[in-house]
Structure 1
Amino acid sequence: MAWLYLFTAGVFEIIWAFAMKQSFGFTRPFATTITIIAMLISFWLLAVAMRTIPLGTAYTIWTGIGAVGAFAVGIWFLGEPVTPLRLLAAALIVAGLILMKLAS
């Protein structure tokens, strides 16, 4: 169950990162509110997952899900560039996440 909490925390990290971008420096109240709520949920789920999963593993996977997820959201919804080097970087993060999970 802890891994489900951790994965969900990572999804909420993606949500708050996207909402933060949409808040335009916290000048849009709705997007700012979504950012704060998603952050709180993400942190809470991460804390719950850390009851079972070691700190280094949980934090690395949480930030990795957020980083790769925000990268993908940026491409799909914000029209950010897709380059071979950016794709390689994302693939290396995913490879690191898989290795971290296997090492746990």
Structure 2
Amino acid sequence: MPYVLLGLAIVFEVTATLSLRASEGLSKFGPSSIVVVGYLVSFLLMAKALTWLNVGPVYAIWSALGTVGAFIGGVLLFDEPIRPLTIVGAVIVVIGVIVMNLGGGVSHS
């Protein structure tokens, strides 16, 4: 259950981030509303997941998947460029999360 909550939190966070880009500086009501609701729901879900999971690895997962999700969303929705160095950076972020989880685990009692 905590991983489902974390996954949903990441989906809402990525959606809010992409909507932030679409809001054009928070000047468009629709995307701006999605930003506010998305971040609020995302933080509520992550807070609930943290009642079962350790904060360090969870935040690493959140950051990595949010970064990769925003990168992919930016490419697909806004035609942002894909550069080899950007892909290398995304891979490094994901590897960092894997290493962090191997070293610290994610659940607490």
Match of 1:10 in 2: 10
Structure 1 residue 71 displacement after superposition: 0.6
Encode CA deviations 1:45-101: one digit per residue, 9 max, x unaligned.
100110011111111211211111001111111111111111100111111222233
**Conserved? CA contact 1:19–1:35, under 8 Å:** yes
The amino acid that maps onto 1:6 is L
State the SS of the aligned residue for 1:24: coil
Structure 1, unpaired ranges of 5+: none
Encode CA deviations 1:12-34: one digit per residue, 9 max, x unaligned.
11000000111111110111101
Structure 2, unpaired ranges of 5+: none
**1:70-81 map, 5 Å:** 70-81=70-81
Q: Distance in 2 between matches of 1:62 and 1:55?
A: 10
Overall identity of the aligned pairs, in %: 34
TM-score normalised per structure 2: 0.89
State the SS of the aligned residue for 2:82: coil
**Conserved? CA contact 1:9–1:46, under 8 Å:** yes
Match of 1:91 in 2: 91
Q: Distance in 1 between matches of 2:8 and 2:99?
A: 20
State the SS of the aligned residue for 1:82: coil
The amino acid that maps onto 2:68 is V
Q: Distance in 1 between matches of 2:95 and 2:11?
A: 18
- Equivalent pairs counted in the alignment come to 104
Q: Distance in 2 between matches of 1:98 and 1:37?
A: 30
TM-score normalised per structure 1: 0.93
